[in-house]
Structure 1
Amino acid sequence: MSIASVTVTTPPRLESGVGVLDKASLLLSVLEAGPATLATLVSVTGLKRPTVHRLALALERLRLVARDGEGRFALGPRLGDMVVEARHDRLLRSAETVLGELRDRTGASARLYRRRGQLRVCVAAAEARGSGADTVPIGSSFPMKSGAVAQVLLAWDEPDLLYEGLRGARFSASMLSGVRRRGWAQSLGGWEPAMATVSAPVRGPGGRVIAAVSLSGPVSRLTRHPGREYGCDAIDAAIRLSEVSGH
């Protein structure tokens, strides 16, 4: 599509009284309509070209602005991160109900994990009654190198991040391909040899994976094929939480 065929209207000006912030806000408002070239930003905002260029580069360094495949400016990934964090409390409130119902339906422990760098952190849980030593306290963290939850949190990453995450992992690229195809991951063992786990992705705005629902319990309960038996239950719970998260 040529630049001439794209019509971008001037967004309403929201003023804070701080000049540089108002100009930066105006640029971001233009980009809400989609990627734009420097020339388009200058034309729509009415700001001088050096000013637009300087602000766009500064916003890019802050990850509030990014470039698309054609070199145009677009809204950056940090804005998506902010949206996810803003919805986090609502996600946790809903998780209490969703995980409780999942536990009651299956008799296994239901948990919600989020990724923090190279760790997966338990942020909500509904433990199976009488689970005892198998309990995972909220705030507990585990490496992203093994287990169904790690597979789910990694499987939909960008190729370069996925490749990096596979280094030293106890699962392979082909296993993650299967996770993407099925919509769930399973594992046997973990912190207890006789434990089984099945996990499914929770998605946020844009379909990005922001968390993982897991269902864990003894192999005697979940069987040695937990995905086949309980994958649909995990997916249903994850979809409910995705709806809360704005997917």
Structure 2
Amino acid sequence: MDTTEISPDGGSGVGVLDKAATVLGALETGPATLTQLVQSTGLARPTAHRLAVALEHHRLVARDMQGRFVLGPRLGELASAAGEDRLLASAGPVLAALRDRTGESAQLYRRQGDHRICVATAERPIGLRDSVPLGAALSMKAGSAAQILLAWEEPDRMHRGLHGARFTATMLSAVRRRGWAQSVGEREAGVGSVSAPVRGPNGRVVAALSVSGPIERITRQPGRLHAAAVIASANHLSDVLRHSGV
């Protein structure tokens, strides 16, 4: 394999690993075609392809339904095994407190390709029909959590994500301005939700914190009821990540 290309940060001296890390870093913001990988990494097309396929073999990279490269499941497994996922380790008590404060089920979502995954949840003791199961893969085209996970993406990725979405660029602009999102019957008829961003130490949005419930209880303007509580909980998780450096 060609070792003449230099990674953007100067490299570790192990060229293949540096290039593999560059590929994984490029996929951190979402799915990418081979052409997009070449553009974002600066690697030669054959090199980018060989690395992506090799990483796919080890499940560090996967493909979405459109054949684009995405981060693979092995990364999550390694993080969990190493006990390094500070976000998930801290989410349980925060979600439980948010559930108790709002009276609604609370969830934490991360983006994985074209889906958002429910990675933590605190359910109401009753009304399980309103719950989102742990591990559920939901669409990035609808729902307040999808709005949050897309609103702070790079412009080109955001606009690609808007294709076929139930929300618009104007709505996402409003989300960024006020710092929270709401949806009413957007993902599922009769269900509303409110979400806010959780940020990593570098300020980047790494997850969406949500509450959801039936419209008859959460109303058609759920943000008026619960935005303040959801924002406070999301900010608390962000503070945990900032202070832990994770």
TM-score, reference length from structure 2: 0.67
2:104 corresponding residue in structure 1: 108
Runs of 4+ in structure 1 off by over 4 angstroms are: 55-58, 85-88
- Structure 2 runs not aligned, ≥5 long: 1-5, 27-41, 43-59, 61-70
Is residue 95 of structure 1 aligned with residue 91 of structure 2?
yes
Q: Deviations over 1:122-181 (max 9, x none)?
A: 111111221222221101111100110100000000111111101111111111101100
Pairs aligned (count): 190
Summarize deviations over 1:27-52 as a string: whole Å, max 9, x none: 99xx9xxx67xxxx9xxx9xxxxxx7
Larger Rg: 1
Query: Residue type matched to 1:203 in 2?
Result: R
Post-superposition CA distance 1:207-233 (Å, at most 9, x none)? 111110001112232221111221111
Distance 1:115 1:58 in 2: 25
Structural mapping, 1:50-89, within 5 Å: 59-60=18-19, 62-63=21-22, 85=79, 89=85
Counterpart mapping for 1:1-247 below 5 A: 59-60=18-19, 62-63=21-22, 85=79, 89-190=85-186, 192-246=188-242
d(CA) in 2 for partners of 1:102 and 1:147? 19
Residue 109 of structure 1 aligns to which amino acid in structure 2?
A: S
Contact 2:91/2:120 (CA < 8 Å) preserved in 1?
yes
Identity across matched positions, percent = 51
Q: Which runs of 5+ in 1 are unaligned?
A: 1-26, 46-51, 72-77
TM-score (norm 1): 0.67
In 1: Cα distance, 2:222 partner to 2:83 partner? 30
Amino acid at match of 1:112: L
User: What RMSD in Å do the two structures reach over aligned CA positions?
Assistant: 3.2
